Amino acid sequence: MRALLFALLLPLSVWGYEYELSVVLLFQNEARFLKEWLEYHKLVGVQHFFLYNNLSDDDYLEVLEPYLASGEVELVDVPILTLNQPDNLKVQCDVYNRAIQAAKGRTKWLALIDADEYLVPLEHNTVTELLREYEPYGGLHANWLNFGTSGIERIPDDKLRIEALLRCNIVSENLGKSIVRPERVEKSTDPHVYLYLPPYYHVNTNFERFGWLSVQSGTRKRLMIYHYYTGDLDHLINTKFPRRVLWYPYLQLESYLKHVEIYNRRVNKTMLRFVPQVRKAVFGE
């Protein structure tokens, strides 16, 4: 009886889908914070995960085992080596387009983000609550807020990324990622860009239609993507920078470290409200 009452209270628009909100992730060697990323997004309303593994050689399968067993995660291998940015972007777009097709009819909303990106609802407890206001549109775009190292050498094993890295840029970027209605998308042409089937289009959280190069106002007030761009210093120097050098051989470590200091300009403790529940899920506290 209780289950029936709950079902009757669901928004009518949910009917016909297995999930209200799912996420797509193409990842490589992200096991260290993968459980945190999954549990955080479950907390803010994500019900299903389409994960695409690109040549990881860490213990990601051990992390994912319970989620695969529960059916929360679907895992696909993408055994393609890329050594430059154009090839990497092509693989990412190909994966996103495959995922969009796989998600049609199964999930109402589909977020396409990276393992260092967290969907952050600023006025609601969950992202799904917010999305119900944007159902007429093809997609919802959320801007990045980039986080730096916070001067931390290496995040301790008993700490979450979202509780350790609390310094970010002063302003958000127009660039970000999207949460789309799969049936209303034609294709992805870039990890940040989607073409929508007429008459649909994307909006920011102010319900404003915009071009990809136009300045957007006010999107930080409702939904942001907190982008842990650098990770800690260990990740920045030993993982992030080597990947960047493959794409941009002219990069020098010293100048790169100076550049990313812009992401340590102010303290932001927004994510601390989620920490107790995520810690309980990750560490069993």
243 within domain boundaries = yes
Specify if 3 maps to a domain.
Answer: no
Across the range 140-154, mean pLDDT stands at 96
Confidence band of 105 (pLDDT split at 50, 70, 90): very high
Residue 4 — pLDDT band, cuts 50, 70, 90? very low
Instruction: Answer whether residue 63 is part of any domain.
Output: yes
Between 227 and 14, the more confident residue is 227
Share of the chain above pLDDT 90, in %: 83
Q: What is the pLDDT of residue 149?
A: 98
Q: Give the confidence band of 11 by pLDDT, cuts at 50, 70, 90.
A: very low
11 within domain boundaries: no
pLDDT of 23-32, one tens digit each? 999 999 999 9
Q: How many domains does the chain have?
A: 1
For the ranges 84-88, 217-221, 227-231, 271-275, which has the lowest average pLDDT? 217-221
Segment 243-265, tens digit of pLDDT: 899 888 999 999 999 999 999 99
Half-sphere exposure of 12 (CA within 13 A, CB side): 0
Q: Which of 76-80, 187-191, 226-230, 277-281 has the lowest mean pLDDT?
A: 187-191
What average pLDDT score do residues 161-172 get? Answer: 96
In angstroms, the first-to-last Cα distance of the chain is 33
Q: What is the pTM of this model?
A: 0.92
Rounded average pLDDT over 3-22: 60
Q: How far apart, in whole angstroms, are the C-alpha atoms of residue 122 and residue 111? A: 17
Is the pLDDT reported for residue 275 higher than 60?
A: yes
* In-domain check, residue 258: yes
Residue 89 lies in a domain: yes
Neighbours of 270 (CB within 10 A): 14
Is it the case that residue 147 has pLDDT exceeding 50?
yes
**Could you give the CA distance from residue 25 to residue 88 in angstroms, rounded to a whole number?**
14
Q: What pLDDT band is residue 83 in, cutting at 50, 70 and 90?
A: confident
The CATH number for 52's domain is 3.90.550
226 found inside a domain: yes
pLDDT (tens digit per residue) in 123-141 = 999 999 999 999 999 999 9
CA-based max dimension of the chain: 65
In a domain, 1, yes or no: no
Q: Domain residues for 195?
A: 18-283
Mean pLDDT for the stretch of residues 153-173: 96
DSSP letter (8 states) at residue 43: H
Q: What is the mean pLDDT of the chain?
A: 92
CB of 31 closer than 8 Å to CB of 59 = yes
**Residue 214 binned pLDDT confidence (cut-offs 50, 70, 90):** low
pLDDT band at 1 (very low <50, low <70, confident <90, very high): very low
Region 51-59: mean pLDDT is 97
CA atoms within 13 A on the CB side of 3: 0
